[in-house]
């Protein structure tokens, strides 16, 4: 990614963001804002209950709905399958309900029909809801690339009653993803790299401010929020971290871009155990690697390890399920990660530097357990 040769700056965001308990009960009134032909793509874990719920919700209304079950992985083939399922309906609005892969598939289907898109996360595990892009994988879980859209979702709708009852692992993974936002934002700022708004622009002041607020919110409230979430509670801290994990993190990435942490997250999927981890878990380990590559201050690195240990984010190979990783494995991860976002760093990065940082991140993690 090359340095921008112009001075224009830009900001992108969802048109609307609504967060609160029982907001899913208001879905019909939200879809009616955008049209009457509604295609609803639902994660497998929620499909039966939600399909029945929406059939009752829309009964007797002027809207025509079609509920379909997401196939489990966002591939080009799955996008085409879901697009074909909606062919007869020709939707005015596409709703994606589930995790990041379900939501990103819904964005792609909506783009194919030039329809409005409403994103309804069932966990606070990634920043995917607010972003105008989809991350694409192979059926085996290896990262392929990303689709960038002309606009962000029309509405991001979060029912915090649903999210607070999801497995805590997803909530914690979202913190890992969110914590990368400001750290990667800094790298992009220093190198004057383009953000993800259309063809790419300089960051706005708002982009940096939102990224920093995301970082500070997670560090200040994440530990207590996790404790509350473990008991199924939806406290103010939980609400704030949900917002940081989804809205603040998504806006930060959209308006600044990714860097080393996400490069590691994408590169490490070449190791089979890591392909089964949650996105935010591998991004979290990538944060440690990026900070080491950058030679970040010891206090900042220590703060990350301390927080990771408190909430349960991975900081060692054992945590990632690759305790027996060989030097050849690490080289492969480092080399694969070079195809992602390391070029936004304000200095040249090479596979040897990355491999060394990966090994040191594991060693420090063991030391600080």
Q: Give the Cα separation of 360 and 293 in Å (integer).
A: 10
What is the per-residue pLDDT for 1? 55
Tokens of 339: 């195809």
Q: Give the Cα separation of 156 and 19 in Å (integer).
A: 8
Q: Which of 115, 170, 109 is nearest to 134 (CA)?
A: 109
Q: Which of 100, 41, 45 is nearest to 74 (CA)?
A: 100
What is the per-residue pLDDT for 359? 98
Interhelix angle 279-294/351-368, nearest 10 degrees: 110
What is the per-residue pLDDT for 276? 84
Backbone φ and ψ of 143, nearest 5°: -70, 135
pLDDT tens digits, 218-250: 999 999 999 999 998 999 999 999 999 999 999
Backbone φ and ψ of 58, nearest 5°: -95, -5
Q: Give the Cα separation of 127 and 177 in Å (integer).
A: 7
What is the per-residue pLDDT for 3? 74
What is the per-residue pLDDT for 44? 95
Answer yes or no: are the C-beta atoms of 162 and 97 closer than 8 Å.
no
Look at the block and give the residue holding tokens 């379900």: 102
CA-based end-to-end distance of the chain: 36
Write down how long the chain is.
369
What is the per-residue pLDDT for 142? 78
Name the DSSP class of 247: I
What is the per-residue pLDDT for 146? 87
Residue ranges of the chain whose pLDDT lies below 70: 1-2
Q: Give the Cα separation of 239 and 230 in Å (integer).
A: 14
Name the DSSP class of 121: E
Q: Give the Cα separation of 245 and 331 in Å (integer).
A: 31
Answer yes or no: are the C-beta atoms of 187 and 151 closer than 8 Å.
no
Q: Give the Cα separation of 254 and 127 in Å (integer).
A: 10
What is the per-residue pLDDT for 300? 98
């Amino acid at each position: 990614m090359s340095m921008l040769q112009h001075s224009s700056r830009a900001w992108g965001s969802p048109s609307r963001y609504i967060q609160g308990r029982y907001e899913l009960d208001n879905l019909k009134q939200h879809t009616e804002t955008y049209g009457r032909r509604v295609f609803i793509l639902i994660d497998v874990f929620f499909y039966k209950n939600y399909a029945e719920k929406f059939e009752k919700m829309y009964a007797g209304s002027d809207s025509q709905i079609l509920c379909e079950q997401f196939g489990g992985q966002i591939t080009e083939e799955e996008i085409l399958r879901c697009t074909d399922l909606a062919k007869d309906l020709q939707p005015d609005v596409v709703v994606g309900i589930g995790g990041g892969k379900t939501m990103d598939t819904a964005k792609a289907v909506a783009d194919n029909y030039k329809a409005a898109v409403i994103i309804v996360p069932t966990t606070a595990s990634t920043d995917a809801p607010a972003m105008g892009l989809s991350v694409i994988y192979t059926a085996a879980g290896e990262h392929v690339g990303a689709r960038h859209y002309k606009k962000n979702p029309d509405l991001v709708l979060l029912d915090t009653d649903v999210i607070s009852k999801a497995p805590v692992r997803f909530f914690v993974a979202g913190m890992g993803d969110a914590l990368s936002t400001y750290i990667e934002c800094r790298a992009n700022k220093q190198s004057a790299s383009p953000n993800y708004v259309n063809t790419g622009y300089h960051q706005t002041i708002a982009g940096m401010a939102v990224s920093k607020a995301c970082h500070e919110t997670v560090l200040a409230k994440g530990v207590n929020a996790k404790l509350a979430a473990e008991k199924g509670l939806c406290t103010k801290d939980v609400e704030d971290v949900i917002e940081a994990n989804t809205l603040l993190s998504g806006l930060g990435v959209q308006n600044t871009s990714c860097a080393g942490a996400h490069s590691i997250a994408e590169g490490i999927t070449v190791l089979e155990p890591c392909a089964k981890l949650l996105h935010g878990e591998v991004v979290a380990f990538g944060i440690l690697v990026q900070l080491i590559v950058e030679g970040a201050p010891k206090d900042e690195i220590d703060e990350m390890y301390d927080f990771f240990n408190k909430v349960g984010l991975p900081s060692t190979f054992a945590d990632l399920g690759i305790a027996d990783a060989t030097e050849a494995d690490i080289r492969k991860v480092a080399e694969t990660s070079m195809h992602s976002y390391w070029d936004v760093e304000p200095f040249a990065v090479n596979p040897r530097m990355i491999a060394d940082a990966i090994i040191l991140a594991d060693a420090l993690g063991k030391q600080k357990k």
